[in-house]
Amino acid sequence: MESVTRSESKSMALVSVGHSGKAAPGQFYMIKCGDFPVVPRPYSVFYEDLAGGTTTFLIKARGLQTSQLVEMKPGDVLKIRGPLGSPFPSLVNAVLVAGGCGFAPLHFYARQYGYSSFFLGTETYEELAFLCLFDDLKETHGDNMVTDLFMESPVDGPLIACGPSRMLRTLSETDRKDPVYVSLESRMACGTGMCLGCPAKMKDGTILLVCKDGPVFSGRDVDWEWLT
Ligand SMILES: Cc1cc2nc3c(=O)[nH]c(=O)nc-3n(C[C@H](O)[C@H](O)[C@H](O)COP(=O)(O)OP(=O)(O)OC[C@H]3O[C@@H](n4cnc5c(N)ncnc54)[C@H](O)[C@@H]3O)c2cc1C
Ligand code: FES
């Protein structure tokens, strides 16, 4: 059981727990709070402060558990397990592209390894204002897609992306020579490869598990027809 502190906007909250597990950017924890939902849910690390002994998550309310998490009060407790999954590679001059709460692992990445450009798209202006934590963010919100913003002013360099599957697919299918690393979305139950509940098909026909083999994959290897 770990205790909670927080900061919030209307639909999003940063929830810090008194725990640090030496996570790397792109890894996630399985979190459970209260009796329902019975199965824990996965959340990427937004920031881990090893010295202070805290791990922070960015939560966007959209279902039962995320609504509970954004409502948590300082001192409340929750259960967390991790860090789990494969991290993003540490690269020089990576180009970061985030959609919504896909900002969480890229924020951690930017703080840990730096970046050459950072693109962010959110549903609302309020979310954008909440997440505007870097001076040089190239940002957009509402109906203006972050992928369009990226295509209008493409930047060379390896891509690191997290957000909705359609966004990841578009970025993976752009005609670029540089590698593209994506953190895939999936429903999860165990988070460790036991329940086989998070399959992702690759172009070579293999079926991998998002929790154990990912969530970070080369976007060029993913069979997007199967996934989206
Ligand atoms: C590796 C990983 C990291 C994640 N990191 C974060 C994070 O940092 N912050 C955050 O807020 N969320 C994150 N998520 C998503 C979060 O775990 C799910 O949205 C979770 O199901 C929310 O639980 P809930 O009970 O609130 O909503 P649920 O009741 O489970 O679902 C609410 C709505 O979201 C849809 N949905 C649920 N899960 C998914 C999914 N995986 N993909 C697409 N649609 C889905 C459902 O169909 C439903 O419409 C992450 C997911 C993964 C796989
Ligand atoms: S969540 Fe159980 S195998 Fe991935």
Which contiguous run of DSSP H or E holds residue 81? Answer: strand 77-84
Cα-to-chain-centroid distance, residue 28: 8
Number of domains in the chain: 2
pLDDT over 80 at 188, yes or no: yes
Q: What single DSSP character describes residue 204?
A: T
pLDDT over 70 at 1, yes or no: no
pLDDT over 80 at 10, yes or no: no
The confidence score (pLDDT) of residue 81 equals 95
**Ligand 1 atom 30 nearest Cα:** 63
Stated pTM of the model: 0.94
| 134 in the same domain as 51 | no
CB-based burial label for 144 (10 Å; 0-12, 13-18, 19+): exposed
Q: Which atom of ligand 2 is nearest to the CA of 210?
A: 4
The confidence score (pLDDT) of residue 140 equals 93
Strand pairing class (47-49; 117-122): unpaired
| 40 in the same domain as 11 | yes
pLDDT over 90 at 74, yes or no: no
Least confident stretch, 68-82, 87-101, 209-223: 68-82
Of 84, 104, 127, the domain-final residue: 84
The confidence score (pLDDT) of residue 146 equals 96
Average pLDDT estimate for 169-182: 94
Of 84, 110, 140, the domain-final residue: 84
Ligand 1 neighbourhood includes 45 CB (under 6 angstroms): no
Ligand 1 neighbourhood includes 12 CB (under 6 angstroms): no
Q: Containing domain of residue 29, as a range? A: 2-84
